[in-house]
Amino acid sequence: MQGEDFLNSHELLLAYPSKLSGMLAAGELDVALVPAALLTELKSYNILTNYCIGANKEVGSVCVFSEKPLNQVKRIYLDYQSKSSVALLKVLLLHFWKIEIPFVASHDDAYINEIGNESAGLVIGDRALHIGDRFAYRYDLAEVWNEMTGLPFVFAVWVSLKPMDENWINQFSGFIEIGLEHIDEIAAGHENEFSGIRKYYNENISYRLTDKHREGLSLFCKLLSEFPPTENI
């Protein structure tokens, strides 16, 4: 009941993380789940709680698909929903694969049909999970990051622009913990959407913001900040 009491005393808004970040910056929200890539755009912020959306190794839902090795493709179509995933791809292309491939922006799911021949595509979320082995090559970006750095990748963290009361943070953390305790029940409610959803929630996604996660987040922000401002994604 404690979690219900906390939820009932707050307004919960559901939207793409990038939109929530904009609302946070505009003062329309007190706390938001902020994509890691957007942290470099904030002058100051507070990371709240020891929880995140991350991946220790393979995540499964953030992948580049292609019919040829990446060093043979001439363009990569970008998913329109995730700024952190696009930024991670840019960092990996420069520091891991050490190749330069032009990006093509997309505005809907039609870009997936362009993958093939000389075109690759960054696909995230349910669409990436459903694609599976449809294409010859699948590059899981969180797994590649781990191979390059030995660290987990953090996609998003809970952030406020102003300090929050410690008692509130403890209540909020408890609310998140209640959700994690019911992760199997949450997964069961979505099994008709994807057969491996239980494994995805329990094994692919990591929710604890450990010291290693913080180290990975700090390194990612550092590498991303090294790009010229006009090139930041």
Ranges 93-97, 125-129, 194-198: which has the least confidence: 194-198
Q: Dihedral through CA 137, CA 107, CA 158, CA 94, nearest 10? A: 50
- Predicted pLDDT of residue 228: 66
Q: Average of pLDDT values for 132-146?
A: 96
Q: Which of 129, 38, 121 is nearest to 80 (CA)?
A: 121
The DSSP line for 56-119 is SS--SSEEEEESS-GGG-SEEE--SS-HHHHHHHHHHIIIII-----EE--SSGGGGGG-BTTE
Domains identified in the chain and CATH numbers: 2-55+152-225 (3.40.190.10), 62-149 (3.40.190.10)
pLDDT above 60 (res 231): no
233 confidence band (pLDDT: 50, 70, 90) = very low
Q: Each residue of 163-189: pLDDT tens digit?
A: 999 999 999 999 899 989 999 988 887
pLDDT above 70 (res 230): no
pLDDT above 60 (res 232): no
Q: How far apart are CA 105 and CA 124, in angstroms?
A: 14
CB 143 within 8 A of CB 57: yes
